[in-house]
Amino acid sequence: MQAIFLAIYLLVGEFKADERLAFIPFDLTVATAGALTLFALWRVLRMDVRYQKQLVWLIIGVSLFAIPLLWTVWTDYAIEKSSRMFTLTLLACAAPLLLITERDDLRMFRRALTVIAL
């Protein structure tokens, strides 16, 4: 189930571009990101330490991107892109690490990506 939400989250832009789904009253990216965040937090709270070490290294690597923010000219565009980088993009990087831990999860993720892409 979590792998399916991950696939939907990664390809949600395709759904948002479809005019037939314009009637949905909420943002699909935010909704799937919220669900994915809950799944990831649940895994962090109940998972063994080795995956949490990988998550720490991922966060350290992504936080290196924060250094150039010190000399950024803060336009509306810069604020939007910076906030997305450290929320939605970080989630897209961390979620596979946390949610796809077994071969069955990987198979489910591949199948979901294939079905959604078709």
pLDDT digits (tens, 9 = 90+) for 63-82: 898 898 889 899 999 898 88
Greatest CA span in the chain, whole angstroms?
46
Tokens of 60: 């350290």
At 30-41, the pLDDT tens digits run: 888 999 999 888
Looking at residue 48, its pLDDT comes to 60
pLDDT band at 50 (very low <50, low <70, confident <90, very high): low
- Cβ contact 40:99 at 8 Å: yes
Is the pLDDT reported for residue 51 higher than 70?
no
Give the Cα separation of 22 and 26 in Å (integer).
10
Name the pTM for this structure: 0.78
Looking at residue 76, its pLDDT comes to 92
Long-range interactions of 45-53: CB distance < 8 A, separation 24+: 47/98, 47/101, 51/97, 51/98, 51/101
Within a 10 A sphere around the Cβ of 32, how many other Cβ atoms? Answer: 20
Sign of CA dihedral 111, 57, 44, 101: positive
CA angle 70–62–17, rounded 5-degree value: 100
